[in-house]
Chains A and B, each alone.
Chain A
């Protein structure tokens, strides 16, 4: 019988106060250095992220990210579910961009099976994924601006995002964790007004992005807070494994949608925005431009959605032949990879999810060294991490 009063708080290791003391004793701190702890509950860490910062006055000398507070054992669960049963779980990893997760997973299993989704399904998947990309970037923009002190953009961004979520709700019934796609294609046919809704949204949205840009892009204070902050060069980014807008802002023009097109991306014209300096401002500009490009893709896609079936010929019971596959897509946050090993049974033998936020977060230490404490929050925001994905 546990002693209620004495249990829990004092002995908890999660806080690792003891560890912190140990750290203070064993690490040699300079005369002015202190270690402060940020999180796991903190309004700006965008989830349960714990960051230990070693400060010299205001300057960050060293940092350590401690993750795992949202670890749910998703990969272990995958081994005990059938392929279709596991699909809703992937939505919950990057819960801000559930549709992308679903796309990556369904395409990975389709590769494993050797089937291809029909053209109509591919195009509808593309439309929904691009809408989801816009929604994810809107969340990023709102929260990033809020952390830096701009109190208004978040409301505008969420207002726009509301429209996208309405489209998702009309399509599959869910706003956030959509489980929109199925292995082999789509479950639901596109509803009647999907094209009209998307077109209306996309046409509206261009002006809205301009609105956000007027608030932030040439704002002197915004420039001061984001230019030169969190710089990571192209080589460093490749070395540390950063993907997505992080690597594009550092000058490497790489997007899996162009390098290894999946879904229907090879049919559409779009640009890949890149930055030059690899700082926070460039990542901001890259993501803003990506939102515009996504709008462009959506508008092209809805012009010409092919008719036909929405589901490929896959059985109800999926037993992919033994083997393995690694399939990567360009999620809003970076390269989302699924490495699936099948042993011929109905349940996957191993599902490994390569989370973009996890690998991007490794770059945090490099990016934050030498900056001031107030920039830490900006850098976490600019990496656009979702702890659900980092911890799985």
Chain B
């Protein structure tokens, strides 16, 4: 079940017209924390709503299936959202559009997988893009993020910035990262980027000058050959810029992760790509080999992209071996253990963001479920023919078959 992070409020009141949007932090009604102007009491029942009013909360968000009658005394702001958003909790941050009443959950304090979408613009156009690019002016998003940062719990362990291409407005974005450094010094920051901007020395130097204590750029590389990578990302010259960007980042001592999404264009050559990365870029901080999320453009290009993971397992195992032998930290993301060769299991992480992570019925019987990444719930999930519960009995049968 995919958690709904977007929605429309059923009711709102008290928002002034001099701003189009507000950033809202939710607080439990009984919270003793110091109240910020952006704080809304979170009420799940009418009873809680009453208590919030009595506790002089100036702003209240109610999760309700019906309409709320406002007591006359209440002069503050109100947002009412349908019951499917009952996951909302103390410390969560949402962005609210006054006119349309549309809102987005920007941050969930209890989640280990918080990511901020920075823009939908991108200078690549990947065949499997899960967030298809739009050429629009959405610079307001960065402003909204800037407003959100003071509301985020400084104990948050990690945040991801994603897009589109996060460095599309690199000056403003780097300013946001500096804010993170100052307001959230204990929070590890991961930035997903195609890395092409770092071919420009001005940008990589500005990145270095952030002097963030725990920042990593996660950059996809899909092949060891220019035209194959360029075709996957649908941009001529992308490979050359991306590799140059990685070199410049490393030259300035910055942390880099390389990601390879596995599908019919990248998986058959994954051993070559892994060997090439091990030989040419062994100094990167991490390599993530990732199962495909069948959403966005991946659905449109399904005929070209779909490949059953059991058909690329051997190549994947050899790629992992090349990388580990070269001393590279390598992980496999988004692929359930039943479709992976056993040699890869130590590298297989539970990586799918909680809000889009699920299992199938077969998994109830599986011994490895607790350490398995499971499946994406987004888009049109496609399942390998290799999906089956791993049990001791199955291992015996396999041995007999051998």
The answer to whether A and B belong to the same complex is no
